[in-house]
Amino acid sequence: MKKIALLTSGGDSPGMNAAIRAIVKTCLYYNIIPIGIRHGYKGMVQADMFEMKYSDVDNIIHTGGTILGSSRCLEFKNKETRCIAIKNLLDNCVDGLVVIGGDGTFTGASILASEMGIPVIGLPGTIDNDIYGTDHTIGYDTALNTVIEAIDKIRDTASSHHRIFFIEVMGRHAGFIALNAAVASGAESVLIPEEIPDLNQLVLQIQNQNKGKRSSIIIVAEGEQEGGSIELINKVSPMLEGYDLRPTVLGHIQRGGSPSAFDRILATRMGSFAVDLLLDGQNGLMIGSEGDKLITTSLETAVKLHNTPDLDRLKLLKKMLTRH
């Protein structure tokens, strides 16, 4: 194996740069030429790729985003477009490919692994943590800490003014961020896509909670079934007259920022392991973590199944909230 190409695709996440750095440094360690592909699959189609050197990955381990850039390339779903992309890799004598991304990226990678004849390894890079085959995705820990920091700040003003904040966090299909942010920030309630919400219960809880504590934090995953924090306030406000209800949508600050130590270490281990797997002749695998170990799952399985949060955390929240 003489050349390994790498790309980041789909939604960016903190820690992608640490993964890029680890792939490049491990390639150079083995005297393999790393080829960076810009802007995900789009760069593969447009042959936008370059030989990476040590200097390209100096001082990036602590930075958010991705130095390679990312994009959504819908044309990649067409076989003819993928053929152009594969030809570009073959023309550049690429012997292996590492993709960093989420579900969509792995769907593309899994098709490539069967069509291309060049082995592919995937690294889970998404803040949502919803990828099957790993306890943690690269970026989730950082995003969760960003969310908690923001909630702590909102809590200060919520308690000063006796307000009820509905804080919307990312998680269109999975409630990992919302549920664990609720536990870690001591939130009064949480709404996640995996649970049908009971608005009457929520109203009662806010009323009861406010007998002893005059502010509340309700965490709302963007994909929960009522349609988000603003919609939710519209629905419950007639039942909560006299309460000061405020929506806050945290938005894209959740994707950015310097990766946590956890994400940097995870990304470095996974990135280096990806090169080892390619050297070992492996193809069509995604790297995941299980406890302190790195494991692999086929890309095909990783895209078919999904990770769901531990709903026992809801019971834990309830115990933390009960006031007799």
Q: Please identify every residue annotated as catalytic.
A: 128
Instruction: Kindly give the pairing relationship between strand 120-124 and strand 216-221.
Output: unpaired
Sign of CA dihedral 20, 112, 293, 101: positive
Dist CA 218 CA 77 (whole Å): 39
Tokens read off for 120: 């592919």
CB burial readout 305-324, b (16+ within 10 A) else e: eebbbeeebbeebeeebeee
Closest distance between ligand ADP and the C-beta of residue 75, in Å? 8
CA 15/CA 66 separation, integer angstroms: 8
Min CB(324)–ligand ADP separation in Å: 45
CB closer to ligand ADP out of 137 and 146: 137
Handedness of CA 307, 308, 312, 315 (dihedral sign): positive
Packing angle between helix 261-279 and helix 16-29, nearest 10 degrees?
A: 40
Smallest distance from ligand ADP to CB 58, Å:
27
CB of 253 to ligand ADP, least distance (A): 18
In 87-187 the beta strands, taken as DSSP E runs, fall at 96-101, 120-124, 163-169
CB crowding 269-298: b at 16 or more within 10 Å, else e: bbbbbbbebbbeeebbbbbbbeeeebebbb
Judged by the rule CB under 6 A, the positions of this chain that interact with ligand ADP are 9-11, 41, 72-74, 76-77, 101-105, 107-108, 111, 126
- CB nearer to ligand ADP: give 107 or 129: 107
Q: Which residue number, 16 or 218, has a Cβ lying nearer to ligand ADP?
A: 16
- Quote the least distance from Cβ 131 to ligand ADP, whole Å: 9
Nearer to ligand ADP, 103 or 263 (CB): 103
Query: Closer to ligand ADP at the Cβ: 41 or 166?
Result: 41
3-state secondary structure of 57: helix
